[in-house]
Structure 1
Amino acid sequence: MTKKKAFVPLIMDVAVPVGSYYLFKDGLGMSTLAALGWSSVVPAVRTGWSVVKDRTVNGLAALILFVNVVGLLLSFVAGDPRLMLVKDSGVSSVVGIGILVSVAMGRPIMTAVAKPWLVKGDERREAAWRRLQSGSEDFRRAERVFSVVWGVVLLGECVVRIVGAYTLPVDTMVWLGTVIMIVAMAGGFLVSGALAAGPMAAMLAAEVCDKRAEGEKCSVSAAPEAPLAAVAE
Structure 2
Amino acid sequence: MAQSLLPLVLDVGIPLASYYLLSDGFGLSEVAALGWSSVVPALRTVWALVRRTGVNGLALLILVVNVVGLAMSTMTGDPRLMLAKDSGVSSVVGIAVIVSVFMGKPLMTAGLKPFVTKGTAARSAAWDRLAAGSAPFRRAERRFSLIWGTVLLVECVARVIGAYTVPVHTMVWLGSVLMVAAILLAMVVAGGSCAEPMEKMVRTEAAAEAERAAGDRVGAAGAAGTAPVPAVTGS
Question: Same fold per TM (> 0.5)?
Answer: yes
Could you tell me how far apart the structure 1 residues matched to 2:213 and 2:40 are?
60
Q: Confirm or deny that 1:187 pairs with 2:185.
A: yes
Aligned residue in 2 for 1:196: 194
Aligned residue in 1 for 2:203: 205
Aligned residue in 1 for 2:58: 63
Deviation string 1:88-109 (CA, Å, 9 cap, x unpaired) is 1111112111211221221101
SS in 1 for 2:54: helix
Task: Mark the runs of 5 or more structure 1 residues left unpaired by the alignment.
Answer: 1-10, 48-60, 217-233
What TM-score results when the alignment is normalised by the length of structure 2? 0.67
Work out which of the two has the higher radius of gyration on C-alpha atoms and give 1 or 2: 2
Aligned residue in 2 for 1:103: 101
Deviation string 1:44-70 (CA, Å, 9 cap, x unpaired) is x636xxxxxxxxxxxxx4333333333
Q: Structure 1 residues 209 and 151 mapped into 2: Cα distance closer, same or farther (>3 Å)?
A: same
CA apart distance, 1:42: 6.3
SS in 1 for 2:210: coil
Q: Do the aligned partners of 1:95 and 1:151 also contact (CA within 8 Å) in 2?
A: yes
Could you tell me how far apart the structure 1 residues matched to 2:113 and 2:168 are?
40
Q: Do the aligned partners of 1:37 and 1:68 also contact (CA within 8 Å) in 2?
A: yes
More helix as a share of residues: 2
Could you tell me how far apart the structure 1 residues matched to 2:41 and 2:180 are?
26
Q: Confirm or deny that 1:46 pairs with 2:54.
A: yes
Deviation string 1:154-178 (CA, Å, 9 cap, x unpaired) is 1111100111111111122111111
CA apart distance, 1:110: 0.4
CA apart distance, 1:143: 1.0
The equivalences for 1:1-233 within 5 A come to 35=43, 36=45, 39-41=48-50, 46=54, 61-78=56-73, 79-213=77-211
Aligned residue in 1 for 2:21: none
CA apart distance, 1:147: 0.6
Q: Structure 1 residues 68 and 106 mapped into 2: Cα distance closer, same or farther (>3 Å)?
A: farther
The amino acid that maps onto 2:54 is R
CA apart distance, 1:32: 7.3
Q: Do the aligned partners of 1:124 and 1:208 also contact (CA within 8 Å) in 2?
A: yes
Could you tell me how far apart the structure 1 residues matched to 2:137 and 2:171 are?
40
Task: Kindly report the root-mean-square deviation, in angstroms, between the aligned alpha carbons of the 2 structures.
Answer: 3.2
Task: Mark the runs of 5 or more structure 2 residues left unpaired by the alignment.
Answer: 16-37, 215-235
Percent identity, aligned pairs only?
Answer: 47
Could you tell me how far apart the structure 2 residues matched to 1:192 and 1:120 are?
18
Q: Structure 1 residues 160 and 108 mapped into 2: Cα distance closer, same or farther (>3 Å)?
A: same
Q: Do the aligned partners of 2:70 and 2:82 also contact (CA within 8 Å) in 1?
A: no
SS in 2 for 1:46: coil
Q: Structure 1 residues 124 and 82 mapped into 2: Cα distance closer, same or farther (>3 Å)?
A: same
Q: Do the aligned partners of 2:90 and 2:152 also contact (CA within 8 Å) in 1?
A: yes
Deviation string 1:161-204 (CA, Å, 9 cap, x unpaired) is 11111111112211111111121111111110122101111110
